[in-house]
């Protein structure tokens, strides 16, 4: 029971009663004193106020400081008026500030001034608001053993170095004194430790006036190193950790230097002094104590009365009384100048204290922050972590990492990216004036000037999305980034879309309207963006803190479903626009007016799709490093902008600068003449087409084939209607079918079906429900088989059943097949279940896939008859259960022969070899969590190890393997016969009166766990809408509060509606208090694809521990490994992670930076092996291979596996097909295949095979993968054959040799790649090996087909380049003549060929032949 202190004021009926609450580490005497004093004062001064207090103490409550803090916050968040006044720990001022009044509005200013100059301004103010006032303060001091100091003629230390030296010497002198402690440290494994750390670091500041040192400063590093030095050389881990040792030494005087809280009760051998510091005169003590505050939710009348209480308790007179009578320090500084006070307390000590408050974390609950802080420090102090690493981790708890353009920041990436963005923007803006130069107008006819400018503005917007990522992330910046991206893409893509629509080969009203209303067309899309962006104001993207390996950084995210939907709509809109453009590009592929632009835009759109895929990939990879996240989010818009601007706009400048004025004039005249010819011939074409159509009867009436034929005609030469059909049907009375599996005779489903059919008739619903019931009596199916059978039906899309009753462990498994009930049920109906366990057993991915029709919990049955017989009580912890069980078991064995119960079992465990064991194991581990609010312990944690060891100990000392393996039937029999002391089983009230049912025990009192069973009901999502609505009627009925109440009162089942257990009628049939106190734990159905498989593996491993000889640690590690996935996260501070990314970036930059050489006219002779478009496609293939490296980062997903295969497959095709094409058309002997390819010049295209190369689950997938490898191999073999035939062809002599070397190298690399994906099992080795193969592949291919040409360009002068160009021209003409002579058999004589060749060689100097390694004999041949 809580300690309630209250004093009635006699004879008054209009007294205002104020309630207060406090947590005390002792018996609460201080608070009782204060309440007594105030009530006495109130009575004497007729204040008409009566104060009562509820005190939580260690002796009367299981609450600790954290639980108390959480409970108070829960009350305050609800706006509770239960308490008017709160006494709270000073560390919670920030946490509670939103819920307390500003005392300046209710207290006189002169009263506030008593505290404003002291430490209270640090512990009671937040955001310039006085949220409380201190009633007492506490702090740490050092207790110096003066006897020992005098004995060895030592002085009181004034710094940590002096304390260390004195302690070291006296330790040597007192070497035989085993009871003496030199220094205690006071670093226990709870809150006191953070106080000790803070004050120690504060004591290392440079001077008294300096602020608290930064955690990453050298002062903090020195402070931590000194702590460790003191521990290692003067003390020990045990002494530093053990709080009780410090208390003991405070009274027995057997310590040299004792750091402890200020107290008036201590051994007289000690003298109290302030904590020492790094320098004399510098100190530090953490502030403790209690504040008093007023609840802001109470009425103004109560606030006014509560202010009287605060004013009295914090008055100078009462504070002085507490100092003199109780020795309790006050926060009023002026009291320490009072002579009367100084006779009772050391005022000089109080005045010399240098106090520091505890930290005030912004992004954490203080308790969470404190726990993390202490955990990091503990690894430093008691393990081998360095001070610098530990302090960096502590600093990272609150530091938000940001990207900055400051060159002195932690990363220069921000400045580099910023400069790149600005340079690109300046470049784009500086290119706009060319639009207004008339002589260049022919190059920019594809769009009007205004649309060109709009498109460039759009690209500036897109690259501008990088800029909001700098500095602190805010809601405005998130919205700005979204705005720029949304409008930027629209500005860029809509002008192109408009032009393509206007150029459509066939005229219709839509196209005519587009031509006449270009601005309206553009405004329509702008209005669409305004609407979407306007909706985002309702649901904006907001900053979200991400924790990356202990480092915090902010990103933008959508905080609700509406934002996600809007984002999806926007992406879908852009995809639809891209698809529309791709379709129009195909239709207009051969239109002369836009011939070049169409091809350039096609390349741009292909790249846009590539970046879209890359964006999806980057979003699916969790980038857990702030720099890596910034780089990836910046590179995509930068490359997108660069590639699109260069291809669509800037590429025209190459033509401009490489052409003279006459060329420009020629282009313009040709364009005009061609356009006129087309326009004049349009009538003829139309007439011809009309007559052609009138002559030719329609041979194909299939609309789809007709449409396809029409589109192909458009494509090869220069709308269709689609019939719509509607169908409807009517239904009569709806007969619903349901299916269920039941361990009993299906009592609950049958009851619900029967009652619903009665209800439907009464309400004229025209619905009838029938149920197919599988039970153990009428079927051989077990729960796992039933689960698989149901999934088979659902996966097939069978509409045989409308409603499914299923075990609640299958919610995740069936979620994709069941409707979201939130779309059909009212919020009030969902709210019945949302606050209870149903939100965990019925929801998956924010979707209510079912509702519970019944719920089951495990409880403990205790034999009260035996317990009372031996004077024992129902256990509350596992330890108590073990001790009580051992005691009664021993007593029963000691009874005289014939009187003891040989059939009695002490504890059943309930670990049979099926699913129930999974539930028992989970609730066992959950019951060992640290506190009630803690999550499920990690399987690798000490709590889990302790749990398993405890159950094994119980099995070995109280039971046996056979008892633990007994089925549930045996447990029921034991309950019915009373032949057991403790039984764990599902809750069944009133089954046997000698048993008392309570929650299952835990490691600590107040901590429990109960496995959850029961059934849900869901509705199949593929049935018609009409049947769904009918099924909803049944579901509403079955899960209504009234029906659920009937199920309980008829003793049929228990409900998941928590509010029912406040119903007095319900509580006659069930133990409502027990149901309220249950601490449920659900099964882990969402962490594994197939829960049944996972459960079986889990149980087998657990049984190896429980029934065999494996250790708990080994088994738990194996259980942990069932679901843990090892991978290389992006940005991880590892050599292999960052190294691979840097190498990829360098290779990417090298490849991209050399592309401009293609477009420089004087270097064209070096690139005659392929056409410009084929060179670009080949480079794109290399980039796709390089992009596959990024997929290896992060956790592997199905989509990433498909992306990986797609990049490799398309990369191979893009790279080698252009070369393959070239080798075919260069084949020495003419044939129909080479002629066809030479005339058509079409690229062999990949068929888009996206295979799951990470794990192939079926034979088809494996066969397809083998087929792909064979396809690549055949291409290689064909290329090698052609290379052999063309080995001595002079035109491609160098290229053929380089390609041969490349193919040989690629073949070796592919072999190594196959080895890496089949034989290497280590995830790091596989990551490094596959990345290395891709890097070598990219570099090798780049160098051999492209890089060597760059080297030749760099190393040769202009005359050499001209020589190569002339040589190439001459060679072509000479070989052409020779070829024609050979083919026509008209060569007059061998001397003719000799003459040609001699002439050719005469014009080529030997020196130049040597430079380019040209074989003269080959040329002559």
Instruction: Please give the biggest Cα pair distance in the chain.
Output: 142
Q: Per-residue pLDDT averaged across 1081-1104, rounded? A: 83
Q: Quick count: other Cβ atoms within 10 Å of Cβ 464? A: 20
pLDDT at 677 > cutoff 50:
no
pLDDT tens digits for range 498-547 = 888 888 877 778 888 887 888 888 888 888 888 877 777 776 665 566 66
Q: Per-residue pLDDT averaged across 861-872, rounded? A: 92
pLDDT at 306 > cutoff 90:
yes
Per-residue confidence (pLDDT) for residue 273, from 0 to 100: 92
pLDDT tens digits for range 1152-1180 = 777 777 777 777 777 777 777 777 888 88
pLDDT at 860 > cutoff 90:
yes
Nearest 10 degrees: CA dihedral of 246, 251, 257, 258?
Answer: 30
Grade residue 649 by pLDDT with cuts at 50, 70 and 90: confident
pLDDT at 1013 > cutoff 90:
no
Per-residue confidence (pLDDT) for residue 811, from 0 to 100: 85
Kindly give, in sequence order, each residue whose CB lies less than 8 Å from that of residue 336, ignoring residues fewer than 6 positions away.
342, 345, 347, 350, 351
Could you give the CA distance from residue 1382 to residue 1393 in angstroms, rounded to a whole number?
A: 10
Question: Exposed, middle or buried by CB within 10 Å (0-12, 13-18, 19+), for 758?
Answer: exposed
Q: Per-residue pLDDT averaged across 1281-1293, rounded? A: 71
pLDDT at 1120 > cutoff 80:
yes
Classified as helix, coil or strand, 291 is: strand
* % of the chain surpassing 70 pLDDT: 77
Grade residue 728 by pLDDT with cuts at 50, 70 and 90: very low
Could you give the CA distance from residue 475 to residue 541 in angstroms, rounded to a whole number?
A: 6
Could you give the CA distance from residue 771 to residue 458 in angstroms, rounded to a whole number?
A: 60
Helix (H) or strand (E) holding 584: helix 561-587
The pair of structure tokens assigned to 1344 is 């051999």
Q: What is the DSSP letter of 1342?
A: H
Q: Per-residue pLDDT averaged across 1010-1035, rounded? A: 92
Could you give the CA distance from residue 1043 to residue 1054 in angstroms, rounded to a whole number?
A: 11
Quickly tell me which residue has 């070598």 as its tokens: 1336
Kindly give, in sequence order, each residue whose CB lies less than 8 Å from that of residue 1085, ignoring residues fewer than 6 positions away.
809, 810, 811, 812, 813, 1091
Q: Per-residue pLDDT averaged across 715-740, rounded? A: 57
In this structure, are strands 270-273 and 181-183 parallel, antiparallel, or unpaired? Answer: unpaired
Q: Quick count: other Cβ atoms within 10 Å of Cβ 770? A: 10
Q: Quick count: other Cβ atoms within 10 Å of Cβ 522? A: 19
Higher pLDDT pick, 1416 / 1099: 1099
pLDDT at 84 > cutoff 60:
yes
pLDDT at 1244 > cutoff 50:
no
Per-residue confidence (pLDDT) for residue 1314, from 0 to 100: 67
Per-residue confidence (pLDDT) for residue 691, from 0 to 100: 37
Whether this model's pTM surpasses 0.75: no
Could you give the CA distance from residue 1339 to residue 944 in angstroms, rounded to a whole number?
A: 50
Higher pLDDT pick, 602 / 686: 602
Lowest pLDDT segment from 752-756, 1306-1310, 1358-1362: 1358-1362
Could you give the CA distance from residue 337 to residue 329 in angstroms, rounded to a whole number?
A: 13
pLDDT at 666 > cutoff 50:
no
pLDDT at 26 > cutoff 50:
yes
Q: In the Cβ-directed half-sphere of 1405, how many Cα atoms lie within 13 Å?
A: 6
Whether the CB-CB separation of 164 and 234 falls below 8 Å is answered with yes
Grade residue 1232 by pLDDT with cuts at 50, 70 and 90: very low
Alpha carbon distances (Å) from 785 to 802, 914, 1014? 20, 13, 17
Per-residue confidence (pLDDT) for residue 304, from 0 to 100: 92
Helix (H) or strand (E) holding 570: helix 561-587
Per-residue confidence (pLDDT) for residue 748, from 0 to 100: 87
Higher pLDDT pick, 914 / 86: 86
Higher pLDDT pick, 1000 / 571: 1000
pLDDT tens digits for range 968-999 = 888 888 888 888 999 999 888 767 889 999 99
Could you give the CA distance from residue 805 to residue 815 in angstroms, rounded to a whole number?
A: 13
The pair of structure tokens assigned to 1034 is 């049944």
> In sequence order, what DSSP letters do the residues of 980-1003 get, joined into one string?
EEEEEEE--TTS-TTEEEEPPPBS
Q: Per-residue pLDDT averaged across 885-906, rounded? A: 76
Q: Angle, nearest 10°, between helix axes 878-894 and 942-958?
A: 10
Per-residue confidence (pLDDT) for residue 64, from 0 to 100: 52
Grade residue 780 by pLDDT with cuts at 50, 70 and 90: very low
In this structure, are strands 270-273 and 995-998 parallel, antiparallel, or unpaired? Answer: unpaired
Q: Per-residue pLDDT averaged across 952-966, rounded? A: 91
pLDDT at 870 > cutoff 80:
yes
Per-residue confidence (pLDDT) for residue 948, from 0 to 100: 93
Per-residue confidence (pLDDT) for residue 781, from 0 to 100: 46
Mean pLDDT taken over the chain: 78
Per-residue confidence (pLDDT) for residue 864, from 0 to 100: 92
pLDDT tens digits for range 1324-1371 = 666 666 777 777 777 777 777 777 777 767 665 444 555 555 555 544
Alpha carbon distances (Å) from 1385 to 744, 1221, 1398? 97, 28, 21
Q: Quick count: other Cβ atoms within 10 Å of Cβ 20? A: 24
Classified as helix, coil or strand, 620 is: helix
Strand partners, 557: 542
Grade residue 720 by pLDDT with cuts at 50, 70 and 90: very low
The pair of structure tokens assigned to 284 is 């530090």
Q: What is the DSSP letter of 275?
A: P
Per-residue confidence (pLDDT) for residue 1258, from 0 to 100: 54
Alpha carbon distances (Å) from 1329 to 1147, 1202, 1326, 1333? 17, 20, 5, 6
Grade residue 274 by pLDDT with cuts at 50, 70 and 90: very high
Could you give the CA distance from residue 24 to residue 13 in angstroms, rounded to a whole number?
A: 32
pLDDT tens digits for range 1378-1419 = 344 333 433 333 333 333 333 333 343 333 333 333 333 333
pLDDT at 1315 > cutoff 70:
no
pLDDT tens digits for range 1024-1064 = 899 999 999 999 999 999 999 999 888 888 899 999 999 99
Whether the CB-CB separation of 586 and 713 falls below 8 Å is answered with no
Q: Per-residue pLDDT averaged across 1079-1099, rounded? A: 82
Per-residue confidence (pLDDT) for residue 1, from 0 to 100: 39
Per-residue confidence (pLDDT) for residue 1395, from 0 to 100: 35
Per-residue confidence (pLDDT) for residue 539, from 0 to 100: 66
Q: Quick count: other Cβ atoms within 10 Å of Cβ 1238? A: 14
Higher pLDDT pick, 328 / 1400: 328
∠ CA 803-805-806, nearest 5°, is 130
Per-residue confidence (pLDDT) for residue 674, from 0 to 100: 43
Task: Render the burial of 315-338: b for 16+ CB within 10 Å, e for the rest.
Answer: eeebbbebbbeeebbbbbeebbeb
Q: In the Cβ-directed half-sphere of 177, how many Cα atoms lie within 13 Å?
A: 13
List alpha helices for 503-560, DSSP H.
509-516, 518-538
Kindly give, in sequence order, each residue whose CB lies less than 8 Å from that of residue 1073, ignoring residues fewer than 6 positions away.
none
């Amino acid at each position: 029971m809580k300690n309630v202190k209250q004093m009635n004021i006699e004879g008054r009926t209009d007294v205002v009663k104020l309630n207060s609450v406090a947590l005390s580490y002792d018996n609460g005497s201080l608070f009782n004193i204060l309440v007594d004093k105030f009530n006495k004062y109130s009575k004497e001064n007729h204040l008409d106020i009566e104060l009562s207090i509820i005190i939580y103490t260690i002796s009367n409550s299981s609450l600790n400081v954290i639980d108390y803090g959480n409970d108070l916050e829960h009350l305050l968040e609800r706006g509770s008026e239960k308490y008017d006044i709160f006494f709270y720990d000073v560390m919670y001022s920030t946490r509670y500030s939103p819920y307390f009044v500003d005392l300046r509005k209710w207290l006189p200013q002169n009263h506030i001034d008593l505290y404003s100059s002291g430490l209270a301004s640090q512990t009671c103010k937040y955001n310039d608001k006085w949220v409380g006032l201190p009633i007492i303060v506490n702090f740490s001091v050092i207790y110096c053993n003066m006897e020992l100091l005098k004995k060895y003629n030592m002085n009181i230390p004034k710094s940590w170095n002096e304390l260390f030296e004195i302690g070291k010497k006296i330790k040597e002198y007192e070497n035989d004194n085993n009871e003496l402690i030199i220094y205690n440290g006071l670093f226990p494994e709870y809150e006191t430790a953070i106080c000790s750390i803070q004050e120690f670091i504060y004591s290392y500041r440079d001077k008294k006036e300096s602020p608290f040192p930064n955690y990453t400063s050298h002062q903090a590093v020195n402070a931590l190193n000194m702590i460790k030095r003191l521990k290692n050389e003067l003390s020990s881990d045990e002494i530093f950790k053990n709080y009780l040792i410090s208390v003991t030494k405070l009274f027995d005087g057997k310590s040299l230097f004792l750091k402890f809280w200020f107290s008036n009760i201590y051994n007289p051998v000690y003298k109290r002094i302030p904590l020492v510091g790094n320098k004399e005169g510098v100190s530090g003590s953490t502030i403790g104590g209690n504040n008093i505050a007023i609840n802001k939710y109470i009425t103004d009348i109560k606030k006014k009365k509560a202010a009287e209480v605060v004013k009295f308790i914090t008055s100078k007179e009462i504070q002085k009384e507490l100092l003199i009578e109780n020795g309790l320090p006050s926060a009023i500084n002026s009291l320490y100048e009072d002579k009367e006070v100084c006779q009772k307390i050391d005022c000089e000590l109080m005045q010399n204290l240098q106090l520091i408050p505890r930290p005030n974390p912004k992004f954490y609950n203080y308790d969470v922050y404190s726990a993390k802080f202490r955990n990091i420090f503990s690894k430093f102090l008691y393990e081998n972590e360095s001070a610098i690493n530990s302090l960096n981790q502590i600093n990272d708890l609150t530091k938000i990492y940001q990207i900055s353009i400051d060159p002195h920041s932690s990363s220069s990436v921000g400045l580099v990216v910023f400069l790149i963005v600005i340079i690109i923007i300046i470049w784009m803006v500086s290119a706009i004036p060319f639009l207004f130069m008339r002589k260049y107008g022919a190059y920019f006819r594809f769009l009007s000037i205004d649309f060109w400018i709009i498109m460039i503005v759009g690209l500036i917007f897109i690259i501008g999305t990088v800029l909001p990522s700098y500095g602190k992330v805010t809601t405005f910046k998130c919205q700005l980034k979204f705005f720029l991206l949304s409008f930027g893409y629209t500005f860029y893509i809509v002008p192109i879309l408009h032009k393509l629509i206007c150029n459509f080969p066939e005229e219709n009203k839509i196209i005519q309207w587009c031509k006449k209303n270009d601005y309206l067309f553009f405004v329509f899309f702008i209005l669409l963006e305004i609407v979407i962006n306007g909706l985002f104001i309702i649901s904006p993207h907001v900053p979200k803190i991400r924790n990356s390996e202990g480092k915090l950084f902010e990103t933008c995210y959508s905080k609700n479903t509406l934002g996600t939907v809007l984002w999806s709509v926007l992406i879908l809109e852009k995809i639809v626009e891209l698809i529309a453009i791709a379709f129009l590009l195909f239709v207009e592929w051969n239109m002369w007016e836009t011939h070049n632009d169409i091809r350039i835009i096609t390349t741009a759109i292909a790249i846009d799709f590539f970046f879209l895929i890359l964006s999806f990939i980057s979003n699916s990879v969790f980038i857990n490093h702030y720099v890596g996240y910034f780089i990836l989010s910046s590179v995509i818009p930068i490359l997108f902008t660069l590639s699109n601007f260069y291809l669509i706009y800037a590429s025209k400048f190459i033509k401009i600068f490489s052409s003279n004025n006459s060329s420009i004039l020629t282009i313009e005249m040709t364009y005009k003449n061609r356009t006129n010819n087309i326009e004049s011939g349009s009538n003829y074409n139309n007439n011809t087409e009309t007559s052609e159509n009138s002559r030719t009867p329609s041979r194909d009436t299939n609309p789809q084939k007709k449409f396809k034929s029409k589109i192909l005609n458009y494509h090869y030469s220069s709308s269709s209607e689609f019939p719509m059909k509607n169908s409807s049907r009517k239904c009569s009375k709806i007969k619903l079918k349901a299916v269920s599996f039941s361990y009993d005779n299906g009592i609950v489903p049958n009851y619900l079906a029967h009652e619903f059919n009665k209800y439907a008739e009464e309400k004229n619903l025209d619905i009838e429900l029938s149920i197919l019931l599988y039970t153990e009596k009428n079927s051989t199916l077990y729960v796992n088989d039933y689960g698989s059978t149901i999934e088979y039906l659902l996966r097939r899309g069978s509409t045989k059943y409308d409603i499914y009753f299923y075990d609640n462990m299958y919610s995740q498994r069936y979620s994709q097949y069941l409707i979201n009930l939130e779309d059909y049920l009212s919020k009030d109906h969902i709210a019945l279940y949302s606050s209870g366990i149903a939100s965990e057993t019925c929801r998956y991915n924010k979707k209510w896939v079912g509702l519970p029709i019944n719920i089951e919990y495990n409880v403990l049955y205790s034999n009260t008859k035996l317990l009372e017989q031996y004077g024992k009580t129902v256990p509350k912890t596992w330890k108590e259960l073990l001790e009580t069980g051992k005691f009664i078991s021993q007593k029963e064995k000691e009874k005289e022969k014939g009187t003891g119960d040989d059939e009695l079992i002490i504890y059943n465990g309930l670990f049979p070899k099926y699913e129930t064991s999974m539930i028992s194991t989970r609730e066992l581990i959950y019951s060992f969590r640290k506190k009630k609010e803690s999550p499920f312990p990690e399987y690798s944690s000490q709590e889990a190890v302790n749990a398993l060891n405890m159950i094994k100990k119980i099995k070995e000392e109280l039971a046996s393997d056979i008892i633990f393996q007994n089925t549930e039937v045996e447990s029921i029999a034991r309950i019915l016969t009373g032949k057991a002391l403790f039984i764990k089983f599902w809750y069944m009230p009133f089954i046997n009166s000698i048993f008392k049912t309570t929650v299952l025990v835990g490691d600590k009192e107040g901590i429990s766990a109960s496995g959850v069973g029961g059934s849900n009901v869901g509705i199949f999502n593929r049935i018609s809408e009409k049947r769904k609505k009918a099924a909803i009627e049944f579901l509403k009925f079955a899960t209504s509060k009234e029906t659920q109440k009937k199920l309980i009162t008829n003793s049929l089942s228990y409900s998941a509606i928590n509010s029912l257990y406040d119903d007095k009628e319900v509580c006659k049939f069930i133990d409502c208090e027990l149901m309220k106190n249950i601490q449920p734990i659900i099964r882990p159905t969402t962490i594994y694809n197939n829960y049944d498989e996972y459960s079986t593996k889990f149980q087998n491993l657990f049984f190896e521990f429980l029934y065999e000889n494996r250790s708990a640690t080994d088994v738990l590690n194996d259980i942990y490994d069932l679901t843990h996935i090892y991978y290389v996260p992006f940005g991880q501070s590892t050599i292999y992670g960052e190294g691979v990314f840097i190498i990829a970036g360098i290779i990417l930059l090298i490849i991209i930076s050399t592309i401009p050489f293609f477009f420089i006219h004087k270097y064209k002779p070096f690139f005659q092996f392929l056409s410009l478009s084929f060179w670009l496609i080949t480079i794109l293939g290399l980039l796709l291979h390089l992009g596959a490296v990024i997929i290896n980062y992060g956790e592997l997903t199905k989509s990433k596996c498909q992306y990986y295969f797609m990049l490799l497959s398309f990369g191979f095709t893009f790279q080698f097909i252009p070369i393959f094409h070239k080798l075919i058309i260069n084949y020495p002997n003419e044939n129909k295949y080479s002629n066809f390819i030479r005339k058509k010049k079409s690229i062999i295209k990949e068929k888009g095979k996206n295979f799951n190369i990470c794990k192939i689950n079926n034979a088809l997938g494996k066969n397809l993968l083998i087929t792909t490898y064979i396809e690549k191999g055949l291409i290689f073999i064909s290329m090698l054959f052609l290379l052999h035939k063309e080995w001595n062809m002079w035109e491609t002599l160098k290229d053929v040799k380089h390609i041969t070397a490349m193919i040989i190298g690629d073949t070796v690399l592919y072999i190594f790649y196959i080895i890496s994906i089949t034989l290497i099992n280590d995830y790091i080795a596989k990551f490094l090996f596959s990345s290395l193969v891709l890097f070598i592949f990219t570099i090798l291919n780049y160098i051999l087909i492209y890089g060597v040409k760059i080297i030749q360009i760099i190393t040769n002068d202009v005359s050499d380049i001209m020589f190569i160009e002339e040589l190439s021209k001459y060679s072509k003409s000479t070989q052409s003549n020779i070829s024609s002579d050979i083919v026509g058999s008209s060569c007059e004589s061998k001397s003719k060929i000799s003459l040609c060749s001699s002439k050719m060689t005469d014009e080529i100097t030997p020196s130049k032949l040597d430079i380019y390694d040209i074989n003269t004999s080959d040329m002559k041949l």
